[in-house]
Amino acid sequence: MLTLKLAWRNIWRNKRRTLITMTSIVVAVLLSAVMRSMQEGQYDDMIKSTVGTFSGYIQVHADGYWDNQTLENSFAATDSLLQTMRNPNNVTAVIPRIESFALGAGKQQSRPVMIMGIDVEAERNLSNPQQRLQKGTYFQSNDENAVLVGRDVLQRLNMQVGDSLVLLGQGFRGMSATGLYPVKGTVSFPNPEMNKSLVMLPLRTAQNFLAADGRLTSVAFKVDDPGAINPIIQHLRTKLPDNYEVMGWREMMPSLVQSIEADRGSGYIILGVLYMVVGFGILGTVLMMITERTYEFGIMLSVGTPRGKIARILSIEILFIALLGSAIGILISLPVAWYFHLNPIHLTGDMAAVTESYGLQPIIPFSVDPSIFLSQAVIILGITLLFSLIPVFNASKLNPVEAMRS
Amino acid sequence: MAVIETTGLTKVYNADQVPVHALRGVDLTIEKGEFTAVVGPSGSGKTTLLNIISGLDEPTEGRTIVQGTDLSTLSDRQLIDFRLHHIGFVFQAYNLIPVLTAIENVAFVMQMQGRPQKECNETSRALLEEVGLADKINKRPSELSGGQQQRVAVARALSSKPDFVLADEPTANLDSVSSGELLDMMLELNEKEDMTFVFSTHDQRVIDRARRVVTLVDGKIDKDELRE
Ligand SMILES: Nc1ncnc2c1ncn2[C@@H]1O[C@H](COP(=O)(O)OP(=O)(O)OP(=O)(O)O)[C@@H](O)[C@H]1O
Ligand SMILES: [Mg+2]
């Protein structure tokens, strides 16, 4: 009780210093939390625009397909198999696909193209080509004899919507694959590679073309909560036969994961500098706090105050300032992040061009993941306490005679 | 048994550079109920002696025995505890904890001793009345005059029921009226409660009221007079 009373009154003894210290903690939490929120928001956006709108957070393939992506590693899609995949909680939709490569030819030009057979209905859940249509119309059925192509494919092949595209390639088990398909429309993807070479066919049309009736190369998953895919992956791994591989997006896209990690790392270097600045600021304040009261501590030790009590009083003072500062820091940074979450910063000019070339929207969305704010507050709190440790320890080790000579 | 007994106290500061011999063999015995002034020119070793007697400092040689306890046998932690229970302190100035009121300052040492809150309050109130500050119990030190602050310090020194009260120049920062009042009050407590006081001073009027005057010169006892 007495310890608390002393700590509390000492906090307000020098109001200005307490408020300045607290403000520096608030600002540190605000800066670090908002910066992290911006970073994580960008990562979320990157993941969402690649994973969330194309590959899906989870895919199932025949075992070995991901490392060797050929039709020989496709699998026969039975109803019971698809039913097993639909089963886990949190799976919103499963999206079957058959993918391969072929040569696409117009009247004068020919180019290698990516072939992607899609389930006309299911695909709306993920890449949703209908919504990305630039010209023309979407498929009517899975049997329709038509293709949709990436935004830039027609220009590369010197063709128009309505022209026929010749596809030449190799089907399942080495069968030759040829076909002539009217181009029904063009689709704009966030990824430039896909704009240049993707050709979409209705699923059964593609299976016919590739001589792979009823076969798929992948099933992509749409999930409720992208943060909670591991239980689904575990579930699928136990339920599906051994000759299937279940992969999360991190496994499928290690380079995306790596570039996010690298960027996060460089962010932490900047934050590290901020942490140091805050730490030494705190060190200065605490040293001042103690130096001012050295004489008083000398008196207290003389009359028989245990050393531990002096350390406790100081620790409570610092803890209180740090806790309150961190809490206010969270309270202020959350609405800031919320605002930019709802109203992302729009990039213009060169910056916009750069982000677009990476297949991203030219905006900086902020993340409002509470763990970001909490962890920054905890880190700043930890740094404050860490940098106070030594001065507080020294204060409790004062020699009373020397302390009173000061 | 004497309250304080020192034998052959010497204190050398800066032993490794230019040594300063602050005490050169001090043998001093103080009995219960004495009212002793330690006097002497500046630098004669008064503060050093009082610090050693109260276990705030260690002698280079010699021993201090307080109520039968040889202070040199105590660890730092034990010394702090010993001071808490056996010695009352009044320093020259700024004795009090600034954020505590007069009554809280007096109760502070008792609370450290772990006495019940009720006893702390009652005793502190009674002591403040005794030193003439009944109407100031809820004032902070900054709201009290220097003399009033010193009286609170005396009340605090007594609150722990110590074996003796030690005061290093308690009147140095006071005007002559306040000095006189503080001394009268200490004398009264000495008579009424049989409390042992040892204090250092430069002030002749203070010296005149002491019952025993120990004069230090150059770290040695030059005179030791009893007056009546
Ligand atoms: N911590 C120290 N380090 C070095 N020398 C010291 C220290 N403390 C005291 N001295 C020296 O010891 C001698 C005695 O000092 P002390 O403070 O005991 O004298 P004093 O009688 O209390 O003087 P004053 O009347 O001025 O208070 C002085 O020469 C002083 O300079
Ligand atoms: Mg002195």
Q: Which residues of B touch A (CB under 8 A)?
A: 51, 54, 56-57, 77, 80-85, 89, 91, 94-100, 104, 108-109, 111-113, 156, 160
pLDDT greater at residue A123 or residue A44: A123
The C-alpha atoms of residue A378 and residue A177 are separated, in whole angstroms, by 60
Which mutation among B13, B21, B52 tests ligand 1's pocket best, with the greatest number of atoms within 8 A of CB?
B13
**Among candidates A9, A295, A304 on the partner chain, residue whose Cβ is nearest the Cβ of B99:** A9
**Per-residue pLDDT at A360 exceeds 70:** no
Least reliable range by pLDDT among A105-109, A396-400, B65-69:
A105-109
Digit-coded pLDDT (tens) for B70-115:
999 999 999 999 999 999 999 998 889 999 999 999 999 999 999 9
**Per-residue pLDDT at B196 exceeds 90:** yes
Q: Are residues A168 and A44 in the same domain?
A: no
Given CB atoms, is A295 within the 8 Å cutoff of chain B? yes
Least reliable range by pLDDT among A110-114, A296-300, A348-352:
A348-352
Q: Are residues A44 and A191 in the same domain?
A: no
The C-alpha atoms of residue A364 and residue B14 are separated, in whole angstroms, by 66
Q: Are residues A301 and A342 in the same domain?
A: yes
**Per-residue pLDDT at A375 exceeds 80:** yes
CA-proximal residue: ligand 1, atom 16 (nearest) = B45
Residue A242 lies in a domain: no
As a whole number, mean pLDDT of residues A13-30 equals: 90
Q: Which of B24, B144, B181, B160 is nearest to B87 (CA)?
A: B160
**Contact (CB, 8 A) for B6 and B57:** no
Average pLDDT, chain A: 90
- The SS3 call for residue B24 is strand
pLDDT at A356: 67
pLDDT at B63: 94
Residue A246 lies in a domain: no
**Per-residue pLDDT at B206 exceeds 90:** no
**Contact (CB, 8 A) for A126 and A222:** yes
Residue A349 lies in a domain: yes
**Per-residue pLDDT at A109 exceeds 80:** yes
- The SS3 call for residue B189 is helix
pLDDT at A353: 73
Residue A358 lies in a domain: yes
The C-alpha atoms of residue A40 and residue A43 are separated, in whole angstroms, by 5
Q: Which of B140, B185, B181, B136 is nearest to B165 (CA)?
A: B185
pLDDT at B162: 94
Q: Are residues A74 and A218 in the same domain?
A: yes
Eight-class DSSP state of B144: S
As a whole number, mean pLDDT of residues B192-205 equals: 92
Domain count across chain A? 2
Residue A249 lies in a domain: no
As a whole number, mean pLDDT of residues A32-42 equals: 90
As a whole number, mean pLDDT of residues A92-98 equals: 94
- The SS3 call for residue B226 is strand
Detail the DSSP E strand segments found in B72-177.
87-90, 164-168
Q: Answer left, alpha or beta for residue A111, where phi above 0 means left and psi between -120 and 50 means alpha.
A: beta
**Among candidates B54, B57, B95 on the partner chain, residue whose Cβ is nearest the Cβ of A299:** B95
Digit-coded pLDDT (tens) for A219-271:
999 988 888 889 999 999 999 999 999 999 999 988 888 888 998 999 999 99
pLDDT at A145: 95
Q: In this structure, what CATH number is given to the domain that contains residue B18? A: 3.40.50.300
pLDDT at A358: 63
As a whole number, mean pLDDT of residues B129-151 equals: 94
The C-alpha atoms of residue B88 and residue B71 are separated, in whole angstroms, by 16
Interface test with A, best of B112, B158, B164 (most A CBs within 10 A): B112
What order of strands is seen across the sheet that includes strand B4-13?
Answer: B20-30, B4-13, B61-66, B69-70
Cβ-Cβ contacts under 8 Å for B111 (sequence gap 6 or more)? A2, B117, B120
The C-alpha atoms of residue A271 and residue A113 are separated, in whole angstroms, by 44
Q: At what angle do helices A294-302 and A254-292 cross, to 10 degrees?
A: 70
Going by their DSSP bridges, the two strands B4-13 and B61-66 should be labelled as antiparallel
Q: Which of B117, B188, B126, B128 is nearest to B152 (CA)?
A: B128
Given CB atoms, is A7 within the 8 Å cutoff of chain B? no
As a whole number, mean pLDDT of residues B195-224 equals: 93
Q: Kindly state the percentage of chain A with pLDDT values over 90.
A: 63
Digit-coded pLDDT (tens) for B146-185:
999 999 999 999 999 999 999 999 998 888 888 988 999 8
Residue A312 lies in a domain: yes
**Contact (CB, 8 A) for A190 and A361:** yes
Q: Are residues A111 and A18 in the same domain?
A: no
Q: What is the 3-state secondary structure (H, E, C) of chain A?
A: CHHHHHHHHHHCCCHHHHHHHHHHHHHHHHHHHHHHHHHHHHHHHHHHHHHHHHHCCEEEEECCCCCCCCHHHCEECCHHHHHHHHCCCCEEEEEEEEEEEEEEECCCCEEEEEEEEECCCHHHHCCCHHHHEEEECCCCCCCCCCEEEECCHHHHHCCCCCCEEEEEEECHHHCEEEEEEEEEEEECCCCHHHHHHEEEEEHHHHHHHCCCCCEECEEEEEECCHHHCHHHHHHHHHHCCCCEEEEEHHHHCHHHHHHHHHHHHHHHHHHHHHHHHHHHHHHHHHHHHHHHCHHHHHHHHHCCCCHHHHHHHHHHHHHHHHHHHHHHHHHHHHHHHHHHHHCCEECCHHHHHHHHHCCCCCEECCCCCHHHHHHHHHHHHHHHHHHHHHHHHHHHCCCHHHHHHC
DSSP for B33-94 reads T-EEEEE-STTSSHHHHHHHHTTSS--SEEEEEETTEEGGGS-HHHHHHHHHHHEEEE-SS-
**Among candidates A6, A295, A302 on the partner chain, residue whose Cβ is nearest the Cβ of B83:** A302
Q: Which two tokens stand for residue B10?
A: 């010497």
Nearest CA distance, A14 vs chain B (angstrom): 11
Nearest CA distance, A400 vs chain B (angstrom): 7
Partners of B9 in beta bridges: B26
> Looking at ligand 1, which atom is closest to the CA of residue B49?
18
Judged by CB atoms closer than 8 Å, whether chains meet at B83 and A304 is answered as: yes
The C-alpha atoms of residue A45 and residue A82 are separated, in whole angstroms, by 29
Residue A174 lies in a domain: yes
Q: Which residues of A touch B80 (CB under 8 A)?
A: 301, 304-307
Partners of A164 in beta bridges: A182
Please state the pTM of the whole predicted model.
0.79
Structural domain including B63 reads: 2-226
**Contact (CB, 8 A) for A98 and A215:** yes
Structural domain including A168 reads: 58-228
State which of A177, A212, A228 marks the end of a domain: A228
pLDDT at B154: 93
The amino acid at A132: R
Q: Is the CB of B41 under 6 A from ligand 1?
A: no
Q: Is the CB of B43 under 6 A from ligand 1?
A: yes
pLDDT-derived band at A99 (thresholds 50, 70, 90) equals very high
Digit-coded pLDDT (tens) for A166-211:
999 999 998 899 999 999 999 988 777 888 899 999 999 999 999 9
The C-alpha atoms of residue A67 and residue B187 are separated, in whole angstroms, by 98
The amino acid at A269: I
Domain count across chain B? 1
Q: Are residues A337 and A210 in the same domain?
A: no
Q: Are residues A206 and A72 in the same domain?
A: yes
Q: Which two tokens stand for residue A402?
A: 């020397």
The C-alpha atoms of residue B173 and residue A333 are separated, in whole angstroms, by 52
